[in-house]
Chains A and B, each alone.
Chain A
Amino acid sequence: MIFGIFGKKSLPLVVLFLVGLIFMPYVAPRFYIYLVSAMLVTGLLATSLNLVLGYGGMYQFHHAVFYGVGAYTTALMLTKTSLPTWVAFVSAPLVAAFFGLVIGLICARLSSLHFGMLQISLGSLLWVIVYRWYDFTGGDDGIHGISMPAVISGTTPAYYFILAITALCLLLMFIVIKSPFGRILQALRDNPERCAAIGVNVIRHRILALVVAALFAGVAGSLFVTLEGSVFPDLLFWTLSLEILIMCLLGGWFTFFGPMLGACLIISLRTFAGNYTEYLTLILGLMMMLTIFFLPKGVLGFVNDLFRTRFPGQSLEESSHAPDKISTKII
């Protein structure tokens, strides 16, 4: 059933890619293992954002909050309590989902832009609390030197742990998107009024979607702690939210793997271009403009379209997403 869910054309590609990732630590230097781990974690975060952004049509402007909450939950439980490690990892997504619920309950009634603006405010509020509460969160210093159990400490073991959890989460999100819940979510993006007229409780469904997205962002947060062994307030600062938003748009927000691709592109750019220039944000801004003008559906959306025109009747990713003539605006 699970394999039937993946697009028939994309399945071999996904498998090949996964096999490549599994064997990578045997051939690649440590730095690259670390880099790919970072891409996976950020890609997971961006994909969870896209669940509500690309599929749900909601202006989720401050998604990093849930990532930060997940990361801090894991970090605090590992350093301040003597509970087993798995509890710290399991509670990260749960606490993030709880925050998703609270923020969702406050924001979901509002439409599009107002929703996004209020979310930025609430998220920034949380950031200030984390930034200032020295006794509990370590304030602007954050928490460093968090020790992990031997099984997942060190670059390669952490890499395998991150790879496994990310793959599992992606699979789960894919299943969710193809489920009735995901179908209604996409229907909400296309026409909320029609959705209400066919008996969907729009607000409840939006809140549920936020909770699910926050849950996966929380997982990404705890994976970040595994990789870095530290947390700091920047994890829930709004600039990170903007960065993952750009990843979604660049990679293709109407495709499932687009945000992951966007994350890989932007992290590569940051790592390699960072050696030559300090003006990385300038490059990012330029890239964003070029994307909006020339690739409104993102890189993967473009590749999908190309594939479709070359081989009519087949598509790389089995999705019901925008054909050429339909506007790519969310609302």
Chain B
Amino acid sequence: MLQIKSLRKSFDGFQAVKDANLSVNQGEVVAVIGPNGAGKTTLFNLVSGQLRPDAGSVLFKGEDIRGLSPYQLCRKGMSRSFQIVKIFSRMSVFENVQTAVISRMGKTSNFFTPAGGIAVKETERILEAMGLSGKRDRICGLLSHGDQKVLEMAISLGSDPQLLILDEPTAGMSSEETATTIDLMKRLSGEMGLTILFCEHDVELVFSFSDRIMVMQQGSTIIQGTPDQVRNDPQVKKAYLGGHD
């Protein structure tokens, strides 16, 4: 579904991503791990159109997507969440998700139908699936950080994506919230058949449920493989796991 080859990006001479390679197949859960500053977020920004790569190729469903804007990529079936939550803070939880659904339905230039009545069922279904039904009328700027992160995933689902990209979905969450989020991600991949690409600091968590893992260091891909392959790779042990398993 997603193929990245020798991707490169530098900022003012600093090479944030030097040689990133990654492949994500339909239905897989793929994790990107690496120490702080390894270039994970930059890689995600290159994939989802926030940044333009200097060199290399990014294929999504076989199509070269370099230079496409985030909104065009969303329409092609790619949806993402951000490391620092980006939600519509003055709107209610329900309206946040509904707005994404309205956009997906291509009704953004509709001037005369009241928005409140559009896609109510679908929005409620997403809120139900994400466990947000009880908070549907809360103004989301006032939600807890964990709930905001979950809401951001719910907004992404409103775009009905094939590929869901999550940038540190559990960052800043309590251990309980983390468990719930992981559970949600498992269900998204298992029940809804979503392809998920995510990056994460918590190595335990990554090994517990990813199909494949890509390890980055200083902007380059060290290895991509199954959790077992990665765990036993000498280079990874040295670079990231600190030499002991």
Contact = CB atoms under 8 A, between A and B. Distances in A.
Given A326-B141, A326-B142, A202 B111 contact: no
Interface stretch (A89-97, A176-184, A237-245, A280-288): A176-184
Given A184-B108, A326-B139, A197 B79 contact: yes
A186 B91 contact: yes
A323 B111 CA distance: 26
Interface string B107-123: 11111111110100000
B95 A199 contact: no
Contacts of A322: 90
A15 interface: no
B159 interface: yes
Interface string A1-32: 10011000000000000000000000000000
Interface stretch (A124-132, A188-196, A268-276): A188-196
Contacts of A205: 108
15 contacts: A179-B112, A179-B115, A180-B113, A184-B108, A186-B91, A190-B91, A195-B103, A197-B79, A197-B80, A198-B158, A199-B100, A199-B104, A200-B108, A202-B71, A326-B89
A187 interface: yes
B111 A197 contact: no
Contacts of A200: 71, 103, 108
Contacts of B100: 198-199
A219 interface: no
Contact of A179 (B98, B110, B156): B110
Q: Chain A binding site: helix, strand, loop or mixed by DSSP?
A: helix
B167 to A, nearest CB: 11
B91 to A, nearest CB: 5
Interface residues of A, number: 36
Contacts of A147: none
B21 interface: no
A320 interface: yes
Q: How big is chain B's contact interface, by range?
A: 35 or more
A295 interface: no
Interface string B121-132: 000000000000
Interface in B82-113: 82, 86-92, 95, 98-100, 102-104, 107-113
B74 interface: yes
Given A180-B118, A201-B71, 13 more contacts: A175-B112, A180-B107, A180-B115, A182-B115, A189-B90, A196-B69, A197-B48, A197-B70, A199-B71, A199-B104, A199-B159, A200-B71, A212-B111
B43 interface: no
A201 B68 CA distance: 12
A310 interface: no
Contacts of A195: 103
B105 to A, nearest CB: 8
A80 interface: no
Nearest to A182: B115
B155 interface: yes
Contacts of A180: 102, 107-110, 113, 115, 118
B140 to A, nearest CB: 9
A181 B90 contact: no
A322 B104 CA distance: 26
A321 B107 CA distance: 22
B94 to A, nearest CB: 10
B75 interface: yes
Given A184-B108, A199-B104, A191 B88 contact: yes
Which 4 residue pairs across A and B have the least CB separation, nearest first? Answer: A199-B74, A190-B88, A194-B86, A183-B115
Given A191-B87, A199-B159, A326-B141, A181 B71 contact: no
Contacts of B82: 193-194, 197
B117 to A, nearest CB: 9
A18 B92 CA distance: 31
